[in-house]
Amino acid sequence: MTEIVLPGDRILAAEVLAKCKKVILGPGLRREDDQVIACKPGRLHHKEPNTFWIDNYQQRYIPVRGEAVIGVVTAKAGDIFRVDIGAHEQASLSYLAFEAATKKNRPDVNPGDLLYARLIVAGRDLEPELVCVNSTGKKGKLGVLTDGFVLNCSLNLARLILREDCPLLRSLTKEMPFEIAVGLNGRIWLKAKSLRETIALGNAILAAESASYEEMPKICENIGNILFT
């Protein structure tokens, strides 16, 4: 499904599906009684069996519960860290929202640190709240990001990279080893063996936004050829 929709349009496919099963509404969609309404202009997507969302080139990030984001710690106020995630207001992060954190065993987090975290509270009238653990209380890939390089990108590119059918990351891993964390707030953290490789990876990722799936492997091959010749 690649239908173009405008704010106020009803998403009939989602409404019909919602009559017989639970429907998951992603960015750009909201429910009003029994209706599913578009609140952003863009391209409507449907992932089987029951997920709908709208892709657009929005620059300002609107927090969505459950999404992983990359933020910068700006201050510590009592037992709460303030984190800039690029939204309309800063998010809060409790010192207890880390794996094995207690009153005596506090995490080593300071202003200026980079965090990969997940939103557990997000809403129009609510302050965003973050955690650095998953549903089982383990940190997994969440937490403080050390070294590396952060680049800003469009929200659309961040979501594109994380799609299961996107070949970009698979193609890049064939060229060189690296670590990556993709925040759905339009921030990407990269870490490779050298600064030169890290910058090359960033350039390849940014170039992929205007490329087709067929062109992405070629972009990655060109980066590898330049680095190792």
CATH of the domain at 40: 2.40.50.100
Nearest partner of 107 among 118, 121, 93, 120, judged by Cα? 93
Domain assignment present for 114: yes
Q: Among 145, 179, 198, which residue terminates a domain?
A: 145
Say how many Å lie between the first and final Cα of the chain, rounded.
43
Domain assignment present for 27: yes
What's the pLDDT at 42? 86
Does one domain contain both 138 and 80?
yes
Domain of residue 95, CATH code: 2.40.50.140
Distances (CA, A) of 30 to 12, 54, 79: 13, 11, 34
Structural domain of residue 49, as residue ranges?
A: 4-55
What's the pLDDT at 132? 95
Domain of residue 188, CATH code: 3.30.1370.10
Does one domain contain both 127 and 183?
no
What's the pLDDT at 81? 95
Per the CB < 8 A criterion, the answer to whether 217 and 171 are in contact is: yes
What's the pLDDT at 228? 54
Q: What predicted TM-score, i.e. pTM, was given to this entire model?
A: 0.80
What's the pLDDT at 183? 96
Neighbour-count burial for 101-116, b at 16+ CB within 10 Å, e otherwise: beeeeebebeeebbbb
Domain assignment present for 107: yes
Domain assignment present for 9: yes
Does one domain contain both 223 and 153?
yes
Does one domain contain both 116 and 140?
yes
Does one domain contain both 80 and 120?
yes
Nearest partner of 190 among 151, 139, 140, judged by Cα? 151
What's the pLDDT at 201? 92
Q: Among 91, 116, 145, which residue terminates a domain?
A: 145
Does one domain contain both 139 and 153?
no
Domain assignment present for 63: no
Domain assignment present for 190: yes
Strand partners, 47: 51
Nearest partner of 62 among 73, 75, 53, judged by Cα? 53
Domain assignment present for 61: no
Does one domain contain both 72 and 138?
yes
Domain assignment present for 60: no
pLDDT, averaged per 10 consecutive residues of the chain (229 residues), comes to 84 88 86 89 86 80 91 92 93 93 88 95 87 89 92 89 90 92 95 91 90 89 66
Does one domain contain both 175 and 118?
no
Per the CB < 8 A criterion, the answer to whether 75 and 111 are in contact is: yes
Amino acid occupying residue 58: Q
Does one domain contain both 223 and 184?
yes
Q: Among 123, 145, 167, which residue terminates a domain?
A: 145
Burial of 132: CB neighbours in 10 Å, binned 0-12, 13-18, 19+: buried
Number of domains forming the structure of the chain: 3
Separation of alpha carbons 201 and 220, rounded Å? 8
